[in-house]
Structure 1
Amino acid sequence: MKVLILGAGAVGGYFGARLAEAGADVTFLVRERRRKQLRQNGLRVNSIHGDIHVREPQLVAAGEAASPFDVVLLSNKAYHLADSMAAIAPYVGENTMVLPLLNGIAHMEPLFERFGRERVLGGLCFIETTLNADGEVVQTSPIHELVFGEWDGGESERIDKLKQAFSGTKASFRASTQIQRDMWHKYLFITTLSGITTLMNASVGPIREAVYGLELTRQLSEESASVMRKIGAPIDADIVDKQMQTFLNQSYGMKASMLRDMEKGLPVEADQLQGYLIQKAEQFGVSVPLLKVVYNNLKVYELKRAADK
């Protein structure tokens, strides 16, 4: 199975390298600057699960001719969705599976409209990675899971083939028969984690230890879950309790990728995560005061970032 991965950054680079390590036919669709870097140094991953050096990764630049791929994996930030869809369009054929790993849920409808509902799978990942100054992927926490499945649920022949293509790696590639539920659960967790760590400008450990840290984290999770329930999202009744336990189990230094992006002065997914839920909350009359504080903090960051430029 021919796999195309959009980008070779922290997420796509990691999972793509694990697939290449296992012998899969993987190509990375990258910008020219990243291509030069990868041609010179190869794709390097520094991981607690074992380092990888793909010395000569297969690369293609946007617009270069290539036949359609069997699966196209999107690992870009949600605010780059429009550009990402344009970049992968030449490589999507009649039978191509488009597998997005973007945070949130708002990207699904645009993908359906652009490529057809029948081509787009549901997907998500759990991983803590970043790129260092040398363009190497650094992966530091135990979890490195990618989940995929048919948007309408259940099993299918193509998902079975994808499971086989993704087998034998040192990362966890898991098929789900309830991918919508899994994606909404991930959305709730990442909205809470990114929201509280960026609001407090701290990793999980100090937030847990502070006098109101756990109380505010739960409030943020409950507000977000209340919006999701109002719009009919398929989330479990006890999901907030489960996710608070997950929050307690995180390592002391765990940070959401959004906070890491802020520390680097990079764009953030405020509109695609917290902003999307606030829009739905206002539409359905749900009170979300702490969620608005989180979102406002992110928008202030964006304004300051723009001013600094």
Structure 2
Amino acid sequence: MRILILGAGGIGGYFGGRLASSGADIRFLVRPSRAEVLARDGLVVRSPLGDLHTPVTTLTAATAPVDAVLLACKAYDLTEAMEAVAPAIGPSTVILPLLNGVRQLDMLDARFGRKHVLGGLCHIGVTVNPAGQILHLNTLQRLVFGARSADQADAVERLFEAIQPGGFDLALSPAIVQDMWEKFTFLATYAGMTTLMRAPIGAIMAADDGEAIMREMLDECLATATAGGYPPRPDAMAQMTSSLTERGSAGTASMFRDMARNGRTEHEHVIGDMLARARKAGVPAPLLRLSLANMQAYEAQRSGTAAG
């Protein structure tokens, strides 16, 4: 199965590198500067589960259809990414997006047609160091995907068989959109609060009203998810509540870490989209509103569009 991976950063590089080293037919669609690094050094992963150093095949432009496209870009690059992969989308190509949130499904459906677009998510902690090496920060390496309609079932099974040799934790989900909404609900709360408070979970819990405010933010996201038809299941609800209120936790969302290094963030795709859905459903969301304004002010200052 011919698989094109857009991006060789943390997520695309980690999963794609594992697949390439297993002998899968993988090509990375990357910018010329990244292609130069990969041609010179190969793809390097530093992981507590075992390091990886493998040569990979790269493209700087897609030219022909493939069987599957794995999108591993940041949400703010999605419009550009869709144009980049368009030549690779044939009549039977499936697209597996591994982005945060759920807005990407609507965007990809509108661009390529719903029949091409699967649901997917991953749980992994990765970053890229200045040398271009991928650093795996923990032992999580889970990739979950599934069909969004019955006519995708055969393609999903073929893709599962093709990427199973990668050696990471792989699962097919019969309810992938529900899974994505549960992660979205957690992440909007997690990112919203850690960026708003400029602090990890444990520090927020140490504040007098920290837990109460965290739970209020979660309630806004839960009400929005429920209004959209995706209330979290009991196990997911218990897990996200435990993580968001863990005393002493050093946990921060990747959005907070992007913010700490003065980088671009996915705030519009995560916090902004959750707020937009809350407003459409008539759900009061004062903390989401405050959190989004905080991130928009940060972006204005970071990008130089605000005085000072």
What is the TM-score with the length of structure 1 in the denominator?
Answer: 0.92
Among 64, 67, 72, the residue aligned to 1:70 = 67
The aligned counterpart of 1:298 is 295
After the TM superposition, which segments of 4 or more aligned residues of structure 1 sit over 6 Å from their partners?
none
Check whether the contact 1:222–1:240 (CA below 8 A) recurs between aligned residues. Answer: no
Q: What does residue 57 of structure 2 align with?
A: 58
Equivalence map 1:219-234=2 (5 Å)? 219-233=216-230
What residue ranges of structure 1 are gaps of 5+ in the alignment?
A: none
1:276 has 2:266 as partner: no
CA distance in 2, matches of 1:209, 1:24: 48
Q: Secondary structure at the match of 1:142?
A: strand
Cα 1:59–1:170 shift into 2, 3 Å: same
3-state DSSP class of the match of 2:292? helix
Q: Name the CA distance, whole Å, in 1 between partners of 2:273 and 2:13.
A: 28
**Identity of paired residues, percent?**
38
Aligned length: 306
CA distance in 2, matches of 1:53, 1:247: 36
**3-state SS of 1:85 partner:** helix
Tell me which moved more, 253-262 or 122-131: 253-262
Does the aligned pair in 2 maintain the 1:180–1:234 contact within 8 Å? no
Equivalent-residue separation in structure 1 for 2:245 and 2:166 (angstroms): 29
Q: Indicate the residue corresponding to 1:37 in structure 2.
A: 37
1:133 Cα shift?
A: 1.0
Residue 242 of structure 1 aligns with which residue?
239
Which deviates more from structure 2 when the two are superposed, residues 232-241 or residues 192-201? Answer: 232-241
Task: Find the counterpart in structure 2 of residue 143 from structure 1.
Answer: 140
Pair 1:251–1:27, CA change in 2 (3 A): farther
Deviations 1:107-164 (A, max 9, x none): 1112112111111101111111111111111111222211110013698222221121
Q: Is the 8 A contact 1:98 1:121 kept in 2?
A: yes
Residues in 2 aligned to 1:154 and 1:188: alpha-carbon distance in whole angstroms: 28
Deviation (angstroms), 1:307: 1.7
| Structure 2: gaps spanning 5 or more residues | none
Q: 1:23: Cα distance to partner?
A: 1.9
Is residue 93 from structure 1 mapped to residue 76 from structure 2 by the alignment? no
- Please show how residues 135-174 of structure 1 align to structure 2 within 5 Å: 135-152=132-149, 156-174=153-171
Kindly indicate whether the alpha-carbon contact (under 8 Å) linking 1:218 and 1:240 is maintained by their aligned counterparts in 2: no
The alpha carbon displacement at 1:234 in A equals 5.0
Instruction: Supply the distance in 2 between the matched residues of 1:293 and 1:241 (Cα, whole angstroms).
Output: 26
Aligned match of 1:263:
260
| 1:194 positional shift | 1.1
Moved more, 21-30 or 274-283: 274-283
| Letter matched to residue 218 of structure 1 | R
Secondary structure of the corresponding residue to residue 277 of structure 1: helix
Given that residues 28 and 58 in structure 2 are in contact (C-alpha distance below 8 angstroms), is that contact kept between their aligned partners in structure 1? Answer: yes
**Alpha-carbon distance, 1:95 to partner:** 1.0
One-letter identity of the residue aligned with 1:57? V
- State the Cα deviation string for residues 160-201 of structure 1 (Å, max 9, x = none): 211211213332121111001001001111111111111122
Shift of 1:227: 1.2
175-184 or 268-277, larger mean C-alpha shift:
268-277
Letter in structure 2 aligned against 1:104: G
Contact (CA 8 Å) 2:148, 2:177: kept in 1 or not?
yes
Q: Out of 101, 105, 109, which is 1:108 matched to? A: 105
Q: Which residue does the alignment assign to 1:122?
A: 119
Alpha-carbon distance between aligned partners in 2 of 1:91 and 1:250, rounded to the nearest angstrom: 47
CA RMSD of aligned residues (A): 2.1
2-side partners of 1:260 and 1:136: how far apart?
Answer: 18
Pairwise CA distance, 1:16: 0.6
Alpha-carbon distance between aligned partners in 1 of 2:164 and 2:249, rounded to the nearest angstrom: 32
- 1:181 is paired with a residue of what secondary structure? helix
Kindly provide the CA deviation profile for residues 222-241 of structure 1, in whole angstroms up to 9, marking residues without a partner as x.
Answer: 11110121222353267443
**Could you say if the C-alpha distance between residues 50 and 161 of structure 1 is closer, same or farther in structure 2, counting changes exceeding 3 Å?**
same
Q: Distance in 1 between matches of 2:124 and 2:248?
A: 13
Checking the alignment, whether the CA contact within 8 Å between 2:214 and 2:245 is kept in structure 1 is no
